Amino acid sequence: MVERLLSSSPGLEIWWDSSPLVFGDWVAKVVAAAPRDGRARLQEQLSRLFVVQDAARSVFRGCTTNPSLSLAAVRSAPDYWNRRIDECIADNPGIGLEELSWRTYKAVILRSAEMLRPIWEATGGQCGFVSGQLDPRLVTDTEAMCRQGAEIAGLAPNVMVKVPASQEGMEVARRLTASGISTNVTTCFTLPQIMAAARATRQGLEIARSSGVDTSRCRSVISYFLARLVERPELLHQAERLGVEVSDADRKWFGIAVFKRAYELLREGGYPSKLLLCSFRKGPAVNGAMRFWDIEEFSGGDIILTLPPLALELLFELDGNLVFDRDAIHRRPPRTSLDKMLKLPYCFQAYEPDGLPPEEFSSHPGMVDLLTQFCKASAALETHMGQRLALPGLTV
């Protein structure tokens, strides 16, 4: 099924939206839940996605992580990670909670990068990247993010630094790119954020080349959160206040329209960044059959789809209903839906290239909500570190 999607889109890359450290556990869970007579075939299909023993043969071309997914990776193998954490405490007398958490977080990124390194090597450094996210609590601290980004990038050559789409994050993306570091500008909910990220990385590449920095293995990715844009309560509140009747299909078409417009503008402008699509929801039902427009409507695109376990499970479940048409990426959403949605200030800001000023990037409702979740995950990782530090017999 995933290979059928790939065949419709020659430039498409499929990434795993989780740590590769949890892939084996996910496969085992999905296979165990399947009907007994179909388990062997399903096992074979899923195993092709990420070939642990020969990663270069994998369908997956990279992976994205964040604090929540890194915490899940630590919790998925408590014996291994608790042993490593305890060794770090013992080897570094007096280590503090923040430093211990940071070292553990980097260890998760490094181990993931090692698993995907064969893909990076087989593709000449074009694929096989692992996105390592900056501390979400630093979203407005340019200097701290630059220092942290350089440190994360230094872990392995196939580590891509995941930078927040705040006004300060754009400067961070520019500086890191100028140093030859690959970046993934994440938490993008609007076209203004996407275009600002594209301009920043292009400027960074120009600076790098003028300075003689090797950029042959430097990639730029921009991540757009489709469902998280159109699911915000602010959208529905505005529609109710303005008397605009908005259907679920209208919202879905709008999320699709923002991405397609960004795709068109980046290609027309010759920007080096590749769009990454994430945050998927199934639907709608068409003639009694459940579809998956959040993926189907981008068939044929030279893009990245980063698929979490749930999205992959849905793709397998809905396989017979889905149509992957290589011209889909160029089809415009219904004008009636778009006109209706653009009556809402929330949607106008997301769709127009200059609809949202950079100083308001950090206060966009979708970004505030997602960064809050990431901050909670970072705090939860520190709580886990604190529990290890408190154990008797360890040097503190």
The residues annotated as belonging to the active site are 162
C-beta separation of 129 from 116 below 8 A: yes
Q: How far apart are CA 340 and CA 378, in angstroms?
A: 39
Residue 254's closest CA among 236, 274, 273?
236
Residues facing residue 305 across a β-bridge? 14, 277
- What DSSP string describes 24-69? HHHHHHHHHHS-GGGHHHHHHHHHHHS-GGGGGG-S--EEE--HHH
Residue 71's closest CA among 362, 385, 330?
385
CA contacts within 13 A on the Cβ side of 130 = 31
> Residue 157 burial by CB count (10 A; 0-12/13-18/19+): exposed, middle or buried?
middle
Cis-peptide, bond into residue 284, ω within 30° of zero: yes
Rounded to the nearest 10 degrees, the angle between the axes of helix 365-389 and helix 78-91 is 70
Cis-peptide, bond into residue 233, ω within 30° of zero: no
Residue 129: its H or E element: strand 129-133
* Helix, coil or strand: residue 19: coil
* Helix, coil or strand: residue 222: strand
* Helix, coil or strand: residue 215: coil
Name every residue whose Cβ is closer than 8 Å to that of residue 110 and which is 6 or more positions away in sequence.
Answer: 155, 156, 159
Angle at 377 between CA 376 and CA 382, to 5 degrees: 95
Number of CB atoms found within 10 A of residue 368's CB: 13
